[in-house]
């Protein structure tokens, strides 16, 4: 099959037309052949009826005359023409009276062995094989005169009437197909012009130009393609915008701890006493830890954004929650806070264990970090009719409704937040939630104070089993 759509369409259209014309030609030829056969039978019958009324003298004279069925006459019998049949069409005749005596007979019948033995019992048309040739014979018995008339002619299956019909149909095909091919080629090329315009518009577009393609009125079949390309350009522009914002924010966030590390290193180099040097070096270590944590968070977000495939398996959500609470216990103890699993109903979800652990760690760490000293953090896991619900709440100062809508924005930190952080924790949580097809909502925390985060996992969530080590950071 040609690779070009234009060539393919021309080929299919012409092949379809040729097929239809061929079927029409064969059908017309067969129909014409049947019509010719019926016409020849009718001609024999008319000739036999003519012989019934002739007197014996005229019959004897006619029998000796060479009668060629290929001769055709006009209505005035003035002109004779040959119908151009390739085979002889001589008509032979035999007429008997009521007593069976031969009144007239063509001399050629004597050369056809078995002719007299082939007299049919009933009148009408029949086909005989005489002398190795096929003949059409017609028998007529006239009750008034008592005569029996038999006429024969060769069965010429190549009559010009049938071949003429086939020729009249095939001749236009021979002339029309090349012209039709040219017209179809031009028409299809004109119809495909919008595709060429679209390809030229894309080919000549600057790499940084991501505005929608405007082509004016376009065919219905091309419009979805233009719309799909424009949607792709819009998504690409949004992705580039996000990447640039992410790069800018990441550079800004990394610059702050690096500047602090440099300052503390300079302090350590200039300090003259051991205590000042140790304090400066501790702050250098803290700055390095913060930078490493931020870099790990950035790498994790980048890998999640790339949709790196992760292996999925049934995991016990309550077990993961207990492990996460135990891991964050030292942080909570430093602030005098209590972290408890108040509702640990055994619930299983299909997910990736490492990402689920990161999700729990970030939710609990966020609650401890921004909660009040001496406060509480409650973790609850339960199941309802539609989903498995994970809730983490604290009794801290809470978040305004305006800031609540931006909690999952990258590098966003609430105004007046005393605790430090990169502003990526809840962004990572939101990305993991999206990855597993769950839903994340924020509400008031314990007793209407603080902040509560709820993750609803679909009851039958299924994640394709895939392999990567993306979440190791």
Q: Which of 302, 334, 350 is the last residue of a domain?
A: 302
119 neighbors 138 (Cβ within 8 angstroms): no
Does pLDDT of 308 surpass 60?
no
CA distances from 53 to 93, 323, 465 (A): 14, 122, 100
Residue reference for tokens 């001589």: 90
Structure tokens given for 44: 């024999």
Claim to verify: residue 396 and residue 313 sit in the same structural domain: yes
- Alpha carbon distance 272, 55 (integer Å): 158
**Of 20-24, 140-144, 425-429, 456-460, which has the strongest mean pLDDT?**
140-144
**Residue 53 pLDDT:** 86
Q: Which of 302, 328, 352 is the last residue of a domain?
A: 302
User: Is 441 part of any domain?
Assistant: yes
Which residues have a Cβ under 8 Å from the Cβ of 294 and sit 6 or more positions away? 253, 254, 257, 422, 424
* Domain span at 29: 5-164
**Residue 262 pLDDT:** 81
Q: Which helix (H) or strand (E) holds 391?
A: strand 387-394
Instruction: Look up the CATH number of the domain holding residue 443.
Output: 3.30.565.10
User: Is 191 part of any domain?
Assistant: no
CA dihedral 77, 78, 81, 83 (to 10 degrees): -20
Claim to verify: residue 87 and residue 131 sit in the same structural domain: yes
Instruction: Look up the CATH number of the domain holding residue 273.
Output: 1.10.287.130
Give residue-wise pLDDT tens across range 315-363. Answer: 888 888 888 888 888 888 888 998 988 877 788 887 778 778 888 888 8
Does pLDDT of 472 surpass 50?
no
- Alpha carbon distance 252, 119 (integer Å): 117
Q: Pairing mode, if any, of strands 376-383 and 338-344?
A: parallel
User: Is 227 part of any domain?
Assistant: no
Give residue-wise pLDDT tens across range 241-290. Answer: 777 766 666 666 666 667 778 887 888 888 878 888 888 888 888 778 76
Instruction: Look up the CATH number of the domain holding residue 98.
Output: 3.30.450
User: Is 200 part of any domain?
Assistant: no
Q: Between 420 and 178, name the one with better pLDDT.
A: 178
**How is 418-434 classified by DSSP, letter by letter?**
-S---S-HHHHHHHHHH
**Of 155-164, 241-250, 293-302, 384-393, which has the strongest mean pLDDT?**
384-393
Q: Which of 254, 281, 302 is the last residue of a domain?
A: 302
Claim to verify: residue 17 and residue 130 sit in the same structural domain: yes
Claim to verify: residue 296 and residue 399 sit in the same structural domain: no
Which residues have a Cβ under 8 Å from the Cβ of 386 and sit 6 or more positions away? 456, 458, 459
**Dihedral over Cα of 27, 28, 34, 37: its sign:** negative
460 neighbors 349 (Cβ within 8 angstroms): no
Q: Between 290 and 383, name the one with better pLDDT.
A: 383
User: Is 169 part of any domain?
Assistant: no
Give residue-wise pLDDT tens across range 422-449. Answer: 667 787 788 888 877 888 988 888 888 8
Give residue-wise pLDDT tens across range 394-410. Answer: 988 888 777 777 787 76
| Best CA proximity match to 151, nearest among 95, 83, 88, 85 | 95
Claim to verify: residue 295 and residue 393 sit in the same structural domain: no
Give residue-wise pLDDT tens across range 76-101. Answer: 544 444 455 555 678 888 888 888 88
Claim to verify: residue 329 and residue 269 sit in the same structural domain: no
Claim to verify: residue 39 and residue 100 sit in the same structural domain: yes
User: Is 414 part of any domain?
Assistant: yes
How many Å from the N-terminal Cα to the C-terminal Cα in the chain? 52
pLDDT cut 70: percent of the chain above it? 77
**Residue 143 pLDDT:** 86
Does pLDDT of 463 surpass 50?
no
**How is 149-217 classified by DSSP, letter by letter?**
EEEEEE--SS-HHHHHHHHHHHHHHHHHHHHHHHHHHHHHHHHTHHHHHHHHHHHTS-TT--SPP--SS
- Alpha carbon distance 95, 53 (integer Å): 11
Q: Which residues of 426-455 are buried (b: 16+ CB within 10 A; e: fewer)?
A: bbbbbbbbebbebebebeebbeebbbbbbb
Does pLDDT of 3 surpass 70?
no
User: Is 220 part of any domain?
Assistant: no
| Best CA proximity match to 319, nearest among 349, 339, 292 | 349
**Picking from 162-176, 221-235, 257-271, which range would have the lowest pLDDT averaged per residue?**
162-176
**Picking from 57-61, 195-199, 440-444, which range would have the lowest pLDDT averaged per residue?**
195-199
Domains contained in the chain, number = 3
- Alpha carbon distance 32, 34 (integer Å): 5
Claim to verify: residue 383 and residue 414 sit in the same structural domain: yes
User: Is 59 part of any domain?
Assistant: yes
Q: Between 190 and 465, name the one with better pLDDT.
A: 190
Question: Mean pLDDT, the chain, as a whole number?
Answer: 77
Claim to verify: residue 255 and residue 293 sit in the same structural domain: yes
Claim to verify: residue 148 and residue 79 sit in the same structural domain: yes
- Alpha carbon distance 94, 165 (integer Å): 34
Does pLDDT of 186 surpass 60?
yes
Claim to verify: residue 326 and residue 463 sit in the same structural domain: yes
**Residue 418 pLDDT:** 52
Claim to verify: residue 266 and residue 137 sit in the same structural domain: no
**Residue 304 pLDDT:** 64
Does pLDDT of 300 surpass 60?
yes
């Amino acid at each position: 099959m040609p690779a070009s759509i234009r060539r393919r369409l021309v080929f299919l259209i012409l092949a379809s037309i040729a097929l239809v014309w061929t079927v029409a030609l064969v059908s017309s030829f067969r129909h014409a052949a049947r019509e010719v056969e019926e016409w020849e039978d009718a001609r024999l019958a008319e000739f036999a009826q003519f012989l019934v009324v002739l007197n014996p003298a005229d019959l004897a004279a006619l029998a000796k005359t060479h009668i060629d069925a290929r001769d055709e006459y006009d209505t005035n019998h003035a002109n004779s023409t040959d119908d151009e049949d390739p085979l002889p069409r001589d008509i032979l005749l035999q007429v008997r009276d009521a007593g069976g005596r031969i009144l007239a007979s063509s001399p050629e019948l004597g050369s056809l062995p078995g002719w007299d033995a082939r007299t049919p019992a009933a009148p009408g048309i029949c086909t005989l094989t005489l002398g190795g040739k096929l003949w059409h014979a017609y028998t007529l018995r006239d009750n008034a005169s008592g005569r029996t008339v038999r006429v024969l002619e060769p069965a010429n299956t190549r009559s010009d009437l049938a071949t003429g019909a086939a020729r009249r149909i095939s001749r236009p095909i021979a002339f029309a197909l090349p012209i039709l091919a040219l017209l179809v080629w031009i028409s299809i090329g004109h119809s495909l012009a919008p595709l060429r315009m679209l390809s030229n518009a894309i080919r000549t577009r600057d790499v940084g130009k991501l505005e929608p393609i405007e082509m004016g009125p376009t065919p219905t079949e091309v419009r979805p393609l233009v719309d799909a390309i424009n949607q792709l350009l819009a998504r690409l522009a949004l992705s580039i915008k996000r990447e640039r914002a992410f790069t800018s924010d990441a550079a800004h966030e990394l610059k702050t701890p690096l500047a602090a590390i440099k300052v503390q290193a300079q302090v350590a180099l200039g300090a003259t006493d051991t205590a000042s040097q140790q304090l400066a070096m501790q702050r250098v270590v803290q700055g390095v830890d913060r930078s490493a944590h931020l870099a790990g968070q950035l790498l994790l977000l980048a890998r999640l954004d790339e949709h790196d495939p992760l292996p999925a398996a049934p995991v016990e959500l309550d077990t993961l929650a207990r492990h996460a609470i135990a891991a964050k216990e030292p942080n909570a103890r430093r602030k005098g806070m209590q972290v408890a699993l108040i509702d640990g109903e055994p619930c299983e979800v299909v997910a990736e264990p490492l990402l689920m652990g990161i999700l729990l760690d970030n939710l609990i760490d966020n609650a401890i970090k921004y909660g009040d000293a001496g406060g509480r953090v409650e973790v609850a896991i339960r199941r309802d009719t539609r989903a498995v619900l994970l809730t983490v709440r604290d009794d801290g100062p809470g978040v305004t409704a305006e800031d609540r809508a931006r909690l999952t924005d990258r590098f966003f930190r609430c105004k007046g937040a005393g605790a430090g952080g990169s502003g990526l924790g809840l962004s990572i949580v939101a990305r993991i939630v999206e990855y597993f097809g769950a839903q994340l909502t924020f509400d008031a925390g314990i007793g209407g104070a603080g902040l509560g985060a709820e993750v609803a996992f679909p009851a039958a969530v299924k994640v394709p089993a895939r392999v990567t080590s993306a979440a190791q950071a």
